[in-house]
Amino acid sequence: MIPVRGFAGRCVAVLGLARSGLAAARALSAGGAEVVCWDDGASARAAAEAEGVGLRDLGRPGALDGVAALIVSPGIPHLYPAPHPVVAAALAAGVPLDNDVGLFFSSLGDPQWAAMDSPPRVVAITGSNGKSTTTALVHHILTTAGRPTQMGGNIGRGVLDLDPPGEGAVIVLELSSYQLELARALTPDVAVFTNLSPDHLDRHGGMGGYFAAKRRLFAEGGPDRAVIGVDQPEGRFLAGQLAEAAEDMRVIRVSSGQRLEGAGWSVFARKGFLAEWRKGRQVAACDLRALAGLPGAHNHQNACAAWAVARALGVAPRDIADALAGFAGLAHRGQTIAEKRGVRFVDDSKATNADSAWHALGAFARIRWIAGGRAKAGGIAALAPQFGHVVKAYLIGESADAFAAQLGETPHALCGTMAAAVARAAAEAEPGDVVLLAPAAASFDQYPDFEARGRDFAACVAALAD
Annotated binding residues for ATP, as ranges? 127-133
For residue 121, CA distances in Å to 108, 180, 190, 313, 321 come to 10, 19, 8, 9, 22
Sheet containing 390-396: order of strands:
335-340, 343-347, 434-437, 367-371, 390-396, 412-416
Sheet containing 11-15: order of strands:
34-38, 11-15, 67-72, 97-98
* Burial classification of residue 419, based on how many CB atoms lie within 10 Å of its CB (0-12 exposed, 13-18 middle, 19 or more buried): middle
Binding-site residues, please?
127-133
CB 107 within 8 A of CB 32: no
* Burial classification of residue 290, based on how many CB atoms lie within 10 Å of its CB (0-12 exposed, 13-18 middle, 19 or more buried): exposed
- Residues 6 or more apart whose CB falls under 8 angstroms from that of 221 comprise 105, 185, 186, 187, 188
Question: Please, what is the Cα angle at 181 between 176 and 185, to 5 degrees?
Answer: 100
- C-alpha 251: how far from chain center: 21
**Torsion angle of the four alpha carbons 130, 132, 133, 138, in this order, in degrees rounded to the nearest 10:** 120
Phi/psi at 75 (nearest 5 deg)? -75, -5
CA distance linking residue 333 with residue 419, whole number of Å = 20
